């Protein structure tokens, strides 16, 4: 709905921990305001036209004051935009969602809330800690550790007495006070305690101890904010229920350029990896007309061009039988399949463009049909070739920072590999040599090896095989 503001709970960080409704609202949004704790990968759900506004606050360093955030959101909604306010975890768990909601209503604007998985529950689950358990805790308390002033302290006496699980959010800078106050009020020094930093993210780290020892342990392990502090016997269940940190690719970042299918992404996420998919390639159809004078042979360079060719001859009121005397040649497996699907068997097939002999003398009567950069590649070898380029493809620039944090790359196709490399700077190409680049097929491999960039090829052309290879590499 236009002019509406949706308060979305983004969950603890892992992009798949959003609700179905949240994903839809992000896809529909014209503007998204997001916080410091938001995993930037979530913004990939938004459309290319969506405006992303970072209003994140660092602890004790207010980037944009709360009242200003509210005014900015309201202003955008009044312009008739569909506005999303993305908050970490659940918007109503220490998220100031209630305040923002009231302000929106006071301005006579429509608003809705989409609850999210709070880190207090979901974050603990990813560390193997169930917030309640029949044998250990029949209640839980989620408490802010952001202790305002000396005389506005928590009710330590009651907190120390409760048998339920205690979870402190925003508590890292007060860890010393929290533990010492609870011990002072006679909570058992043996109470198991865990600290979980950046839960559900690749940076997740968990340490455990007791009420008495946890401060030292946290300091030695350099545990910082944002972290969850959890106290109670449920912490002991971690040794049985820790599924996430034990996954084979836990903590690894994998970049997948220009994927159109989710198969590999899902395999990687299930193996514990954090996946960065680069946006799909954008295509532009060129309006050039197809000229077929003395053509005796057509060489198709990619599958999509086969479709464009058929569309073109249809719009010229021609029939495929018109080409009975023309030889059809394909480059690449998918191109061959595309032609087969039309009931045509190519007279020659080649795995890659470089396998095609451009010195053949009858080149005059050969027409190369393909995406523009494929044709340009051929023209570098022989600028006299005849061609028809039905479309061009563009890719977004790769950020240095995004490339830096990557451990692995997986190239889903030779096309993706080709465009990925084409747009990198020389410096980025050098950096690429330090990353593990996974490929399935020979053709994709060749795109890298011709540039002297080493790759790791899977034994078989399957997702499972790529995954097995990655796990082996990691050991
Ligand atoms: N609305 C959020 C909480 C906001 S308060 C929710 O429901 O989760 C911010 C605090 O939440 C942080 O200081 C930290 O204690 C906790 N937190 C949020 N996300 C976290 C994460 N991924 N890992 C660990 N702690 C997190």
Distance 42 CA to ligand 1 centre (A): 16
Q: Which of 206, 195, 204, 200 is nearest to 228 (CA)?
A: 195
Find the distance separating the first CA and the last CA of the chain, reported in whole Å: 50
User: What pLDDT was estimated at residue 86?
Assistant: 96
For ligand 1, the distance from its centroid to the CA atom of residue 177, given in whole angstroms, is 19
**Distance, CA 440 to ligand 1 centroid (Å)?**
39
Q: What is the pLDDT at residue 282?
A: 82
Q: How far is CA 268 from CA 39, 292, 405, 409, 415, in A?
A: 18, 47, 16, 11, 21
140: enclosing H helix or E strand: strand 140-144
The single residue of 35, 90, 302, 407 carrying the catalytic annotation is 35
Say if ligand 1 is within 6 A of residue 123 CB.
Answer: yes
Whether 13 lines ligand 1, by a CB cut-off of 6 Å, is yes
Q: What are the structure tokens assigned to 284, written together?
A: 């532009």
Looking at the CA of residue 196, tell me the nearest atom of ligand 1: 24
Check if 173 has its Cβ closer than 6 Å to any atom of ligand 1.
Answer: no
Among the CATH numbers 3.40.50.2000, 3.30.1490.20, 3.30.950.10, 3.40.630.10, which is that of 121-241?
3.30.950.10
* Cα dihedral: 148, 153, 156, 162 (round 10): -60
Q: Which CATH number fits domain 283-393: 3.40.50.10090, 3.30.420.10, 1.10.150.20, 3.40.50.720?
A: 3.40.50.10090
Q: What angle do CA 410, 51, 419 make, to 5 degrees?
A: 30
- What does the alpha-carbon distance between residue 466 and residue 221 come to, in Å, rounded to a whole number? 34
Atom of ligand 1 nearest to the CA of 95: 1
Which CATH number among 3.90.110.10, 3.40.50.10090, 2.40.240.20, 3.40.50.2000 corresponds to the domain 253-279+396-473?
3.40.50.10090
Residues of the chain falling short of pLDDT 70? 1-2, 57-63, 148-152, 360-361
Task: Pick the residue whose CA is nearest to atom 13 on ligand 1.
Answer: 170
Domain ranges in the chain are 4-117, 121-241, 253-279+396-473, 283-393
Helices 414-422 and 372-381, axial angle in degrees (round to 10): 70
Please tell me whether residue 362 adopts helix, strand or coil conformation.
Answer: helix
Catalytic residue of the set 41, 52, 54, 57: 57
Atom of ligand 1 nearest to the CA of 87: 1
* 264/268 Cα distance (integer angstroms): 6
- Tell which residue, 241, 250, 203, has the closest CA to residue 222: 203
Q: Do domains 253-279+396-473 and 283-393 have the same CATH topology?
A: yes
Nearest CA to ligand 1 atom 16: 169
Residue pLDDT, tens place only, 318-349: 888 888 889 999 998 889 999 999 999 999 99
DSSP state of 17: G
CATH topology classification for 4-117: Cobalt-precorrin-4 Transmethylase; domain 1 (3.40.1010)
The count of C-alpha atoms lying within 13 angstroms of the C-alpha of 164, restricted to the half-sphere facing its C-beta, is: 13
Task: Tell me, using a 6 A CB cutoff, whether residue 95 lines ligand 1.
Answer: yes
Look at the alpha carbons of 311, 415, 259, 288 in this order and tell me if their dihedral is positive or negative.
negative
Look up 57 and say whether it is catalytic. Answer: yes
Residue 237 DSSP class:
G
Give pLDDT, residue 124. 98
Which residue is catalytic, options 30, 76, 170, 187? 170
| Mutational test site, ligand 1, from 17, 86, 89, max ligand atoms within 8 Å of CB | 89
CB 89 near ligand 1, within 6 Å: yes
- Ligand 1 atom nearest to CA at 92: 1
Question: CA angle at residue 87 from 85 to 93, to 5 degrees?
Answer: 125
Whether 35 is catalytic? yes
- What per-residue confidence (pLDDT) applies to 61? 60
For strands 456-457 and 436-439, give the pairing.
parallel
DSSP conformation letters of 266-304: HHHHHTT-EEEEPPPPEEEE--PPP--SS--EEEE-SHH
Task: Tally the C-alpha atoms within 13 A of residue 360's C-alpha that lie toward its C-beta.
Answer: 12
Instruction: Report the predicted TM-score, pTM, of the whole model to 2 decimal places.
Output: 0.86
Q: How far is CA 40 from the centre of its chain?
A: 8
**Could you tell me if the CB of 145 is within 6 A of ligand 1?**
no
Q: What is the 3-state secondary structure (H, E, C) of 295-333?
A: CCEEEECCHHHHHHHHHHHHHCCCCHHHHCCCEEEEECH
Residue 26: name the closest of 11, 45, 41 by CA. Answer: 45
Instruction: Compute the distance between CA of residue 457 and CA of residue 340 in angstroms, rounded to an integer.
Output: 28
Determine contact, residues 118/142, Cβ cutoff 8 Å. yes
What confidence score (pLDDT) does residue 324 get? 86
pLDDT recorded at residue 352: 79
Q: Is 226 in the pocket of ligand 1 (CB under 6 A)?
A: yes
Residue 97 CA, closest ligand 1 atom number: 1
């Amino acid at each position: 709905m236009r002019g509406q503001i949706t308060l979305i709970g983004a969950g603890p960080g892992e992009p798949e921990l959003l609700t179905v409704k949240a994903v839809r609202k992000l896809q529909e949004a014209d503007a998204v305001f997001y916080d410091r704790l938001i995993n930037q990968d979530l913004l990939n759900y938004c459309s290319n036209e969506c405006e992303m506004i970072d209003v994140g606050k660092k602890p004790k360093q207010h980037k944009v004051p709360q009242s200003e955030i509210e005014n900015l959101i309201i202003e955008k909604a009044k312009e008739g935009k569909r506005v999303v306010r993305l908050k970490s975890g659940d918007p109503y768990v220490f998220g100031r969602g209630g305040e923002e909601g009231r302000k929106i209503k006071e301005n006579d604007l429509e608003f809705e809330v989409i609850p999210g998985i709070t880190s207090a529950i979901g974050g603990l689950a990813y560390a193997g800690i169930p917030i309640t358990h029949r044998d250990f805790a029949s209640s839980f308390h989620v408490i802010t550790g952001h202790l305002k002033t000396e005389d506005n302290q928590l009710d330590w006496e009651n907190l120390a007495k409760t048998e339920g699980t205690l979870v402190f959010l925003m508590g890292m800078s007060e860890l010393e006070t929290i533990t010492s106050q609870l011990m002072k009020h006679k909570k058992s020094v043996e109470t198991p305690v865990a600290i979980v930093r950046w839960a559900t993210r690749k940076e997740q780290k968990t340490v455990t101890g007791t009420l008495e020892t946890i401060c030292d342990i946290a300091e030695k392990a350099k545990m910082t904010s944002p972290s969850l502090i959890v106290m109670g016997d449920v912490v002991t269940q971690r040794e049985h229920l820790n599924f996430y940190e034990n996954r084979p690719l836990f903590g690894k970042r994998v970049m997948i350029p220009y994927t159109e299918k989710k198969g590999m992404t899902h395999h990687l996420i299930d193996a514990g990896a954090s996946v960065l998919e680069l946006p799909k390639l954008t295509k532009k159809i060129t309006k050039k007309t197809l000229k077929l004078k003395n053509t005796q042979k057509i060489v198709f360079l990619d599958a999509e061009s086969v479709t464009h060719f058929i569309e073109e001859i249809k719009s010229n009121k021609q029939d495929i039988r018109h080409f009975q005397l023309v030889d059809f040649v394909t480059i690449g497996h998918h191109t061959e399949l595309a032609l087969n699907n039309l009931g045509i068997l190519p007279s020659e097939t080649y795995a890659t463009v470089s396998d095609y002999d451009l010195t053949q003398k009858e080149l005059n009567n050969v027409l190369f049909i393909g995406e523009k950069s494929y044709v340009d590649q051929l023209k570098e070898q022989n600028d006299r070739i005849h061609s028809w380029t039905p479309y061009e493809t563009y890719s977004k620039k790769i950020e240095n920072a995004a490339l830096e944090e990557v451990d692995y790359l997986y190239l889903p196709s030779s096309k993706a590999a080709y465009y990925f490399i084409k747009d990198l700077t020389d410096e980025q190409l050098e950096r690429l040599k330090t990353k593990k680049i996974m490929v399935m097929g020979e053709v994709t491999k060749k795109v890298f090896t011709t540039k002297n960039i080493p790759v790791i090829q899977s034994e078989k052309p399957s997702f499972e095989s790529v995954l097995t290879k990655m796990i082996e590499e990691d050991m």
